[in-house]
Amino acid sequence: MPANGGVFTYWLPEGAVEPGRRVLVPLGRRTATGVVLGPARSVRGELRDVLRVLDEQPLLPPDVLQLVRWAAAHYLAPLGLAVRVALPPGIDLREELRGALTPDGDALLDGVQRALLPGGQEAATRTRQLLRAVREGRALRAAQLRALEKRGLVSLSTSEARPRVQAPQVELAAAVPGAQPPARSPRQAEVLAWLLARDPVGVPVEELLAAFPGARPHLRKLAARRLVALRTEPAGAARLPDAPWGSAVVRETAAQSAALVELRAALDARAYAPFLLDGVTGSGKTHVYLEAIAHARAQGRGALALVPEIALTPQLAGRFRARFGDDVAVLHSGLTERERLSEWHRVRGGGAGVVVGARSAVFAPVRDLGIVVVDEEHEPSYKQEDRLRYHARDLALVRARDAGAVAVLGSATPSLETLRRAQDGRLRTLRLPERVDGRALPAVEIVDRKTTLRGRGDPALLTPALSEALQKTAARGEQAILFLNKRGHVRSLLCRSCGAAVGCPNCSVALVLHRASGAALRCHLCGHEEVPRPCAACGSDDLVPLSAGTERVEEELRALLPQARVARLDRDSAGGPGKAAALLARFARRELDVLIGTQMVAKGHDFPGVTLVGALDADGPLHLPDFRAAERCVQLLAQVAGRAGRGEQPGRVLMQAFRTTEPAVVAAAAHDYHGFARGEMARREALSFPPHARLCALRLQGNVEARVQAAAERLAGRARELQRRGGDRVDVLGPAPAPIARLRGKHRFQLLLRAPEHGPIHRLCRALGEVPLPSGVELAADVDPVALL
Ligand code: ADP
Ligand code: ZN
Ligand code: ZN
């Protein structure tokens, strides 16, 4: 399993072993860990021996290996790479080459035998440097060590390197019990009071600094005065951010019971049965997951629950813990490698029968799988965007099918792919049409943002209506969430009079403004280019470039409500998942009044204090140059709106939009996702986009733009030629510069392959794999792409 994921053949001196066990093998001049895939079908040349078989039991059970094979074939990735993705990080062992000086080496280094040295003064100096490094035990490359060995200066031995998992450290601060606040320093007193109210064992300093930015010096002074104790220790075991577990269900709703009757029957039948659990926000989907899983456990079968992002949805994982205790293993990115590895081994060994995890948990070695749940199945984060570009929801269905298990895809806003499967009868639909407590969904008002376009300069992000609502909410001491989907890299051109963004005539996506190339507008699906022309919707030629970001909102809000405690939550501000969870926990404790953020604020949080939700740029996601922009937009808005009014006070949602009559916005405001989905399904069919067709994006990137473009054109040309000759019908769209045309210094182009089925796309891609690429240009295939950026 080298980095590029190749598959190699070795001789097993001790005879065949089961697939899935790891072996130590020579690879070039190194040793590497590999996973046995099975007997080779044909052998060329002389085989090298496997050095050692590492596991007693296959590390990857047969069903996971089968899923890995399927994924590698479907997503056009090397098998070895797929195997690597399925293993938990930090599991591979490597052998380290160690060198020791021979007597000759010693003599040379100590300057006794200069005569030994060929090749002049410079080479001599270099050799002595290397020998000194060996003597001091510093790391050298294997090739350097072997060269020294050849000259008799060093002797080599191998030793097994420790797995490269090191527990990270966490810095904790604890108030000394009974500490008196220093009278002269109000800031220190504030920090101390905060700590005194917290866990006496200690609070992560990171969390404290999130509450008191810049308080590090105060903390140091408090420690010097012996009022606060600081210490560092290994980060704890499978910790979850603290969160209430959620109330136990006393009486099931009729809809929940009906869904469970079907799910239990399907489990009893012990055959593949996929379901869509279509339930509005707050309809009690989690209870259905938990009880269906409990039934599978009672049968002695295992369960897998995928969630989009555990660190941001601690409540859900908490409910699994509350229901199943130690039978739950949680796999999430907030854990250290060592913690994840130990959870993984617990699952592999049968010590945990229920796995809750993010997308990579679809490969978790759950025993005798009975049920797979995918919560919020529409979430784009189920798609992995590098290495093996898999979609965890789709793999979950494949895994359930192969295991003869029940699959439950849950969502309030199912993806069109899933709705299409349900229409075709490939999924059974279970509905939870109402909120459990009989509470209404919040009232939503659409606010026209065009009023803010009147002045010159960048338009304000807060409309007068929302500003006023914010002031009132703050005056009542209630909380608010402001949502703005960041789209910093894409600037579009907006019509001041009707609010429409200038769109592509061929693809019905927004054109993107490229300042580098004059004022050209470009389509990132088909490559269409134009200079700004009057608005196609209303004829006005008063166009204004628009960009916005959460930082801008924060500034405007601080000016509007100077007293309010405001925090911003997005990938830039959050840092690690721990920080995001800490911020959310503070908001839940009502230590903050307004939370501004990207979709991170829209997850399944349950904040009863929130009575106002503002979507600042409700139609903004529509500007994304992606055919799924409208679908994504409604899904986000539905989720954001679902945060309001979950407590005693009714909630109010304001959706600010330029295009107030867009179906996506209107549907979200009316809580009518399915009405939207019907229209959108027809539009996709008309444009031949998924779910009515299959796509594969071929992405090329490199340092020299002209080379990348030439390679993309050659590839597209070859693809079209193959289509003309062969019988397959695959549309080749593009090439066009990718919407993010330059990323980390690389120029990017993409072309899209489109066909009714995957077969022709797979065949074409395999044929295109033979096309030589110029050096310095990389090609990646993305089958069933989610992000077309
Ligand atoms: P969803 O995932 O559908 O948005 P949740 O599963 O989070 O909804 O449920 C919302 C809230 O309703 C939770 O606090 C949950 O404990 C509670 N709940 C679920 N089912 C019932 C029920 N039958 N009766 C009362 N409360 C319930
Ligand atoms: Zn217009
Ligand atoms: Zn286009």
The reported pLDDT for the residue numbered 164 is 41
User: Helices 285-298 and 314-324, interaxial angle, to 10°?
Assistant: 30
Task: State whether the beta carbon of 313 lies less than 6 angstroms from ligand 1.
Answer: no
Question: Is the predicted pLDDT of residue 508 greater than 70, yes or no?
Answer: no
The reported pLDDT for the residue numbered 752 is 93
* Cis peptide bond N-terminal to 691, omega within 30: yes
- State the distance from the centre of ligand 1 to the C-alpha of 670, rounded, in angstroms: 22
Which ligand 1 atom lies nearest to the CA of residue 288?
A: 6
Percentage, residues of the chain above pLDDT 90: 40
Question: Is the predicted pLDDT of residue 387 greater than 60, yes or no?
Answer: yes
- State the distance from the centre of ligand 2 to the C-alpha of 540, rounded, in angstroms: 5
Q: What is the pLDDT of residues 724-769, one digit of tens each?
A: 887 678 999 989 988 777 766 778 899 999 999 999 999 999 999 8
Task: State whether the beta carbon of 287 lies less than 6 angstroms from ligand 1.
Answer: yes
Give the angle subtended at the CA of 51 by the CAs of 49 and 52, to the nearest 5°.
130
The reported pLDDT for the residue numbered 683 is 94
The more confidently predicted of residues 290 and 644 is: 290
Are the C-beta atoms of 636 and 621 separated by less than 8 Å? Answer: yes
**Of the candidates 684, 702, 659, 697, which has an alpha carbon nearest to the alpha carbon of residue 781?**
697
The reported pLDDT for the residue numbered 97 is 67
**Of the candidates 222, 30, 288, which has an alpha carbon nearest to the alpha carbon of residue 145?**
30
The kind and range of the H/E element at 746 are strand 746-755
Give the angle subtended at the CA of 788 by the CAs of 785 and 789, to the nearest 5°.
135
How many Cα atoms occupy the beta-carbon half-sphere of 742 within 13 Å?
A: 7
Which ligand 1 atom lies nearest to the CA of residue 319?
A: 16
- State the distance from the centre of ligand 1 to the C-alpha of 694, rounded, in angstroms: 36
* Nearest ligand, measured from the Cα of 524: 3
Question: Is the predicted pLDDT of residue 246 greater than 80, yes or no?
Answer: no
The Cα-based distances of 517 to 505, 521, 665, 738, 740 in angstroms read 20, 9, 33, 15, 14
The residues with which 430 forms a beta bridge, in sequence order, are: 277
φ/ψ (deg, to 5) at 342: -75, -35
DSSP notation for 456-499: SSSPPSS-HHHHHHHHHHHHTT-EEEEE----TT--EEEETTT-
* Nearest ligand, measured from the Cα of 507: 3
The reported pLDDT for the residue numbered 2 is 53
CB neighbours of residue 378 within 10 Å: 27
**Of the candidates 619, 634, 627, 581, which has an alpha carbon nearest to the alpha carbon of residue 378?**
634
Confidence band of 237 (pLDDT split at 50, 70, 90): very low
Least confident of 30-34, 522-526, 532-536, 573-577: 573-577
- Atom 2 in ligand 1: which residue has the minimum CA distance? 285
Confidence band of 241 (pLDDT split at 50, 70, 90): very low
Task: State whether the beta carbon of 245 lies less than 6 angstroms from ligand 1.
Answer: no
For residues 328-343, average pLDDT: 81
Question: Is the predicted pLDDT of residue 572 greater than 70, yes or no?
Answer: no
- Tell me if residue 203 falls in helix, strand or coil: strand
User: Helices 550-560 and 464-475, interaxial angle, to 10°?
Assistant: 60
The reported pLDDT for the residue numbered 457 is 62
CA dihedral over 540, 541, 547, 553, signed as positive or negative: negative
The reported pLDDT for the residue numbered 118 is 57
Distance between CA atoms of 637 and 702, rounded to whole angstroms? 37
Give the angle subtended at the CA of 620 by the CAs of 617 and 623, to the nearest 5°.
165
Question: Is the predicted pLDDT of residue 584 greater than 60, yes or no?
Answer: yes
Give the angle subtended at the CA of 122 by the CAs of 105 and 135, to the nearest 5°.
30
Instruction: Return the amino acid letter for 496.
Output: R
Pairing of strands 479-483, 594-597: parallel
- State the distance from the centre of ligand 2 to the C-alpha of 734, rounded, in angstroms: 28
The reported pLDDT for the residue numbered 336 is 75
Question: Is the predicted pLDDT of residue 247 greater than 60, yes or no?
Answer: no
Confidence band of 158 (pLDDT split at 50, 70, 90): low
Q: What is the pLDDT of residues 480-506, one digit of tens each?
A: 999 987 543 345 677 888 877 787 776
For residues 593-619, average pLDDT: 86
Question: Is the predicted pLDDT of residue 85 greater than 50, yes or no?
Answer: yes
Percentage, residues of the chain above pLDDT 70: 87
The reported pLDDT for the residue numbered 274 is 98
The reported pLDDT for the residue numbered 357 is 93
Question: Is the predicted pLDDT of residue 173 greater than 70, yes or no?
Answer: yes
Confidence band of 373 (pLDDT split at 50, 70, 90): very high
Strands (E), 484-564: 492-495, 512-514, 520-522, 529-530, 543-546
Question: Is the predicted pLDDT of residue 771 greater than 60, yes or no?
Answer: yes
The reported pLDDT for the residue numbered 154 is 87
Question: Is the predicted pLDDT of residue 159 greater than 60, yes or no?
Answer: no
The rounded mean pLDDT for the chain is 84
